[in-house]
Amino acid sequence: MNNNPYYGPEGHGPYEMIDIGDLLLEDGGTIPNCKLAVATHGALNAAKDNAILVPTWYSGTSKIMEQVYIGAGRALDPAKYFIIVVNQIGSGLSTSPHNTGGAMTGPNFPKVRIGDDVRAQHRLLTENFGLKSLALVVGGSMGAQQTYEWAVRYPDFVKRAAPIAGTAKNTEHDFLFAETLNEAITTDPGFREGRYGSPADVAAGLKRQAKLWTVMGWSTDFFRANRHKALGFESVQAFIDTFMTGYFAPMDPNNLLSMAWKWQRGDVSRNAGGDLAAALGRIKAKTFVMPISHDMFFPPADCEAEQRLIPGSEFRPLASIDGHLGLFGTDPQMLAQLDANLSELLATRVN
Amino acid sequence: MNNNPYYGPEGHGPYEMIDIGDLLLEDGGTIPNCKLAVATHGALNAAKDNAILVPTWYSGTSKIMEQVYIGAGRALDPAKYFIIVVNQIGSGLSTSPHNTGGAMTGPNFPKVRIGDDVRAQHRLLTENFGLKSLALVVGGSMGAQQTYEWAVRYPDFVKRAAPIAGTAKNTEHDFLFAETLNEAITTDPGFREGRYGSPADVAAGLKRQAKLWTVMGWSTDFFRANRHKALGFESVQAFIDTFMTGYFAPMDPNNLLSMAWKWQRGDVSRNAGGDLAAALGRIKAKTFVMPISHDMFFPPADCEAEQRLIPGSEFRPLASIDGHLGLFGTDPQMLAQLDANLSELLATRVN
């Protein structure tokens, strides 16, 4: 068990650690006393119909969701909604490779799937918060994967769904993107098959992953427009070294790999014997599918193909040359589009 | 000096090795008795005005140019034109790290720029072939870089220019793409700072580079449309293992790195004190700029921005979901578009 100071309330709080009990995993094994790090904003109303769930993406925590997406005057306004941000398993705040002792520590952490997270969250919401429905599930990237999984698995529970920059079934191409990120880490000799002493031992691998994220996470147009300079970095190199490498360097490699394994295999069709159309056809939530125009990982065309399979859904692409990492909130105009869509979705009457 | 059987006339011939004498390099140093591997098709006419130059791309040789672009009934028809394919320095056929002995062998090979190749080719064409002009220079990717360099550096010599899927000045984003490819190789412990025994020692790094090329070289749409299956591979994994890894595995890592260094720094503005508009403004060749619609390395928008700076030029994008590696000739419809453009360009009257 590795005590990494990056993962803690100082940088990512406040949040509450909630033990949801033993979690049986789809790929075998059990996480005993699975703990979810949960941040809430606002209050549940008497009718218990104003709850919004926000799951997290790869490497992200509840903190960035709060900073970028939640606030007074925003679509996700704590004055109106009870907003529950749940850090995914493997995120470093919830039960994760780096904070689990014993036989499941580090590289021995079991394989966790999107469906495991969603079942854990369902137990949390029903048993700990006494919820019977969610007004909205909204998340980006792996948060979108969880959003789709929620809408397919619990069609009556989820009233509205807003998957942003993610897919219901991961594409083979996206699987490869993630594989190159993983290999940047695992091929660092300091990784030692997951038995490194600290992230610093894997600094070179984490830096290579940061460079790959720089190439794939933004877009050609982002750099041509000198958006990295607008964000305060004098050169692409400074952007890589300071921002991107600085972001990943303190993170635990086994945590990242645990999330990436899950990301690569996100697939709601597992709920319908491999039939994606059947799985998406189960969705009752009013769904706005919101890819980002310049996203290399989850291009709009991939998302639109899925959107067509969801009854009553709408395709609402967000325009931003910031690409996938526009999720970081770097483009105020994209956030404005997102808020407008979410406000409209939340105002939509549902059963 | 490393005797690699991959680079030879058995796999890449026929070609002639032509010694163009000592080549002084832009970044310092000299290649003594620089040898260019040259393949020709057709015959020079009496007016000496039917010569076409085809420079090569990263990892490519004259053989693929012949197989995919040259032939009876094609725009590049040996019955009409004298077509000269020159393998770039570092390609493995011309003077390269792996076939140079003495102090310049392997990792000690000097840095070569696009401008060095073009000056070497100019000497070859004028002194060995007695040419005073070229009816056309056409090349893809690094071949496009050389095409632009030719048109800027020798504006009266080049009558027509057709840069395909490449830029006149490499973008910062594309520089990063190439850097991740390089790092896949150089971080393999078997690379030993370029002092490996054979490419087999760097097999893991070459395979990682092949995977990155798989992700970046084709496109999301390519895999969604199962183009890899149409090309005869039962799965993406088989496509990576057999086709992509099989392609790179026998190549010399120092050769690849030598070409990549050159690719990253391609920039015709070096001919005009850093002023790209001034450099491209010198071009007298009738120029068709032909990016590939789904190219991640050289997106159409990057190419169009340069095209606007070239007097009398035309923007002729090629539509193909095969992306950058459509250059391999995998999409017959793209080749048909290319041929139609080249035929039209060759039929255009010039001074």
User: What is d(CA B245, CA A6) in angstroms, rounded to the nearest whole number?
Assistant: 38
Looking at domain B9-170+268-347, its CATH class is alpha beta
Q: Is the CB of residue B237 less than 8 Å away from at least one CB of chain A? A: no
**A299, A308, A314, B268 from A305: Cα distances, Å:** 10, 6, 12, 42
**A221, A321, B114, B262, B327 from B217: Cα distances, Å:** 18, 21, 21, 18, 10
Residues of chain B with pLDDT under 50: none
Which tokens hold the place of A10? 């100082």
User: What is d(CA B235, CA A172) in angstroms, rounded to the nearest whole number?
Assistant: 9
Judging contacts by C-beta atoms under 8 Å, the chain B residues touching residue A211 are: 176, 179-180, 183
Residue of chain B nearest A177, judged by CA positions: B215
Judging contacts by C-beta atoms under 8 Å, the chain A residues touching residue B323 are: none
User: What is d(CA B108, CA B256) in angstroms, rounded to the nearest whole number?
Assistant: 14
How many helices (H) and strands (E) chain A has is answered by 14, 10
Q: Does B214 contact A176 at a Cβ distance shorter than 8 Å?
A: yes
**A34, A70, A171, A296, B33 from A215: Cα distances, Å:** 35, 28, 19, 10, 39
Asked if A96 is an active-site residue, the reply is no
Of A175, A179, A221, the CB nearest to B301: A221
Q: Does B173 contact A220 at a Cβ distance shorter than 8 Å?
A: yes
Evaluate the CA torsion angle B110, B114, B117, B122 in order and state its sign: negative
Q: For the residues of A282-346, what is the DSSP string, one character each?
A: T--SEEEEB-BTT-SSS-HHHHHHHHTTSTT-EE-PBP-TTGGGGGGS--HHHHHHHHHHHHHHH
Q: Does B187 contact A177 at a Cβ distance shorter than 8 Å?
A: no
What are the phi and psi torsion angles at B290 (to 5°)? -125, 80
Candidate list A94, A141, A313, A320, residue with the active-site label: A141
CB atoms within 10 A of CB B246: 11
Q: Is the CB of residue A211 less than 8 Å away from at least one CB of chain B? A: yes
| Superfamily per CATH, domain A9-170+266-347 | Alpha/Beta hydrolase fold, catalytic domain (3.40.50.1820)
| Cβ neighbours of residue A54 closer than 8 Å, sequence gap 6 or more | A62, A65, A69, A70, A76, A83, A84, A85, A86, A137, A138, A139, A143
Q: In which residue are the tokens 């998302």 written?
A: A303
User: What is d(CA A44, CA A47) in angstroms, rounded to the nearest whole number?
Assistant: 8
The whole-number pLDDT of residue B2 equals 56
**A71, A260, B219, B228, B327 from B222: Cα distances, Å:** 41, 23, 5, 7, 14
Q: Does B183 contact A221 at a Cβ distance shorter than 8 Å?
A: no
Q: What share of chain B is helix, strand, coil (3-state, %, to 5)?
A: 45, 15, 40
Q: Which of A170, A302, A275, A165 is nearest to B225 (CA)?
A: A302
In eight-state DSSP terms, residue A70 is: B
CATH no., domain B175-259:
1.10.1740.110
Residue of chain B nearest A204, judged by CA positions: B187
Residue of chain B nearest A301, judged by CA positions: B221
Q: Does B183 contact A211 at a Cβ distance shorter than 8 Å?
A: yes
Task: Determine contact, residues B304/B167, Cβ cutoff 8 Å.
Answer: no
CB atoms within 10 A of CB B249: 16
Q: Which of B263, B115, B95 is nearest to B182 (CA)?
A: B263
Chain A interface test: which of B167, B174, B177, B180 (most A C-beta within 10 Å): B180
**A128, B34, B140, B315 from B302: Cα distances, Å:** 53, 34, 15, 12
Q: Does A173 contact B220 at a Cβ distance shorter than 8 Å?
A: yes
At B56, which amino acid appears?
Answer: T
Q: In which residue are the tokens 């009457």 written?
A: A349
Question: How buried is residue B80: exposed, middle or buried, by Cβ count under 10 Å (0-12/13-18/19+)?
Answer: middle
Residues of chain A with pLDDT under 70: 1-2
Which tokens hold the place of A208? 């290579």
The whole-number pLDDT of residue B3 equals 78
Residue of chain A nearest B177, judged by CA positions: A215
Candidate list B77, B174, B267, B295, residue with the active-site label: B295
Chain B interface test: which of A167, A173, A185, A222 (most B C-beta within 10 Å): A173
Q: Would you call the peptide bond into A5 cis, given omega within 30 degrees of 0 as the criterion?
A: no
Of B179, B189, B214, the CB nearest to A211: B179
Asked if B219 is an active-site residue, the reply is no
Provide the CA B211 distance to its chain's centre, in angstroms: 20
CB atoms within 10 A of CB B169: 20
pLDDT (tens digit per residue) in A128-141 = 999 999 999 999 99
Which residues share a beta bridge with A136? A52
Task: Determine contact, residues B84/B125, Cβ cutoff 8 Å.
Answer: yes
Window 170-199 of A, Cβ < 8 Å to B = 171-177, 179-180, 183, 187-189
User: What is d(CA B307, CA B59) in angstroms, rounded to the nearest whole number?
Assistant: 26
Q: Which of A65, A88, A87 is nearest to A75 (CA)?
A: A65
Measure in Å the smallest separation between the Cα of B182 and chain A Cα atoms.
Answer: 11
User: Where along chain A do its domains lie?
Assistant: 9-170+266-347, 175-259
Q: Is the CB of residue A249 less than 8 Å away from at least one CB of chain B? A: no
User: What is d(CA A297, CA A291) in angstroms, rounded to the nearest whole number?
Assistant: 10
Task: Determine contact, residues B138/B52, Cβ cutoff 8 Å.
Answer: yes
Q: Would you call the peptide bond into B14 cis, given omega within 30 degrees of 0 as the criterion?
A: yes
Q: Does B221 contact A189 at a Cβ distance shorter than 8 Å?
A: no
Q: Is the CB of residue B221 less than 8 Å away from at least one CB of chain A? A: yes
Asked if B295 is an active-site residue, the reply is yes
Judging contacts by C-beta atoms under 8 Å, the chain B residues touching residue A188 are: 187
Judging contacts by C-beta atoms under 8 Å, the chain A residues touching residue B212 are: 180
Judging contacts by C-beta atoms under 8 Å, the chain A residues touching residue B180 are: 180, 208, 211-212, 215
The whole-number pLDDT of residue B351 equals 77
Tell me the H-state helices in chain B: 9-12, 62-69, 114-123, 142-153, 172-186, 203-217, 220-224, 227-230, 236-238, 245-248, 253-264, 276-281, 300-307, 332-347
Which residues share a beta bridge with A286? A160
Window 23-42 of B, Cβ < 8 Å to A = none
User: What is d(CA B143, CA B276) in angstroms, rounded to the nearest whole number?
Assistant: 19
Tell me the H-state helices in chain A: 9-12, 62-69, 114-123, 142-153, 172-186, 203-217, 220-224, 227-230, 236-238, 245-248, 253-264, 276-281, 300-307, 332-347
Specify the 3-state DSSP secondary structure of B36: strand
